Homo-oligomer: A and B are copies of this chain.
Amino acid sequence: MPETTTIKLSFCTGNPHKVAEVQAAFAQKLPGYVIEQQKIPLQELQADTLEEIAIFKLQSISQHLRPPFFIEDAGFFVDDVLRGFPGVYSHYVMDTLGCEGILKLLGDSSNRKAHFEAVIALMDNDNIIHTFKGVNQGTVSLEARGTSGFGFDPVFISDDTPGKTFAEIGMDAKNRISHRSRALEKLIEFYRR
């Protein structure tokens, strides 16, 4: 019988839905890896990029947990007209202004270019940091539409699914093309090498 090894990877997040998504992806594409949720209260830095924030978090986690462990963070960026806003502050802006705030800020602007971005940051067994970025390009819709998903999904139309917002295409379709799934794909690729 061939020897089977199990490798444990800690995913530091408070969100059980993200854990389930990552576990399902590993189970399908790279069996033998066990994803364990770790709930560690994390401080978030104010910085320009998701990567900077993620690296700061990894370093603070390393005081409490043995690697390998990873985190995931995402943001919604309205590229030209709002100069990347809300970007790394998407959670805060969702809580204060919501989708309606984004629509008001854009008004009837014809340039509605936007993207979602996710960064997975990993500290490996040798305490080396790796980051994996996933992006989905698209535009801001003229009004909020759809009920699935969360966050800015109702006002984002991916270039991959023209005419429908992320909240209208359903979770399964979204999970196949989302920024998060693309970052996750790169993490799995890293461990497959």
Q: Which residues of A pack against B, CB within 8 Å? A: 43-46, 53, 56, 82-85, 87, 89, 92-93, 95-97, 101, 104-105, 107
| Nearest CB of chain B from residue A38's CB, rounded to whole Å | 20
Chain B contacts for A97, CB-based, 8 A: 82-83, 85, 105
Known A-B contacts A45-B44, A46-B44; the reply to A96 vs B107 at CB < 8 A is no
Residue among B45, B84, B95 making CB contact with A83, cutoff 8 Å: B95
Is A101 touching B92 in the complex (CB atoms < 8 A)?
no
Chain B contacts for A107, CB-based, 8 A: 104
| Complex Cα gap A56–B45 (Å) | 10
Most buried by B among A44, A83, A87, A96: A96
Chain B contacts for A84, CB-based, 8 A: 96
| Complex Cα gap A84–B89 (Å) | 14
| Complex Cα gap A190–B81 (Å) | 46
Is A105 touching B101 in the complex (CB atoms < 8 A)?
yes
Residue among B46, B104, B105 making CB contact with A45, cutoff 8 Å: B46
| Complex Cα gap A45–B104 (Å) | 28
| Nearest CB of chain B from residue A107's CB, rounded to whole Å | 7
| Complex Cα gap A168–B95 (Å) | 33
Subset of 5 A-B contacts with CB under 8 Å: A82-B96, A83-B95, A85-B101, A89-B89, A89-B92
**Apart from A43-B46, A46-B46, A104-B104, what 11 extra A-B contacts exist at CB < 8 Å?**
A44-B46, A46-B92, A82-B101, A83-B95, A83-B96, A85-B93, A85-B97, A87-B96, A101-B105, A104-B105, A105-B105
| Complex Cα gap A104–B95 (Å) | 18
